[in-house]
Structure 1
Amino acid sequence: MLNINVLYIYPKIMEINNEINLFRIVDNNIKETLVIYGEKQITNYKILMINTMSGEINTICEINESEIESFIENIKVKDIISQKDLNSMEKYILNLTIY
């Protein structure tokens, strides 16, 4: 049985060492996570996703600070949680055309 939690961190975003955590998708069965976070660039945030099971880091997009809330809302309304497992969710997020 799939036991997934989506933990939204926003609006408690704190920038630490030029990075912000946006949210996590946690599979409680296998104790692995997809972490969506941003790295501060000169004028934008580069939004990345790390899969804690594989250690792989993928770039999702680049957005400016004013678009962070909109980015999170767009992810929330997508049908991510209906995917069959964490790997499917990762592929689904990477295939989203958000911006």
Structure 2
Amino acid sequence: MARFFAVFATDQPGMREVRDRVRATHRTYLRSAAQHGVYVRLGGPTLDPQGDAMNGTLLVVEADDIDAVMQFVGNDPYVKEGLFSRVEVRPWDWSLGNPERRA
């Protein structure tokens, strides 16, 4: 049975050039998620406190298990290029704002 997972990734300092250079490839990879048994439900970059600069990534994905998510994340071009200092995947209960569930 599929469940949701939240993916939190934090950029390493000084990696803006890497993020900019790899962004199109990263986005193409995310659009291919279904081929890997993972479905991206929402996502985007996190921003610094001023809202000016990207400093990480947040994704909510749906998959059968955390292993599928870990494998998918591990093959993300951002991860392969060493953009992130930390990546955390957690099971997530999408209780508010889930378009498939009424509050």
Shorter-normalised TM range: 0.3 to 0.5
Q: Which structure exhibits the higher relative contact order, with contacts defined as CA atoms closer than 8 Å and separated by 6 or more residues?
A: 2
TM-score normalised by length of structure 1: 0.35
- Normalized per residue, the structure richer in helix is 2
**Rg: which structure is higher?**
2
TM-score normalised by length of structure 2: 0.34
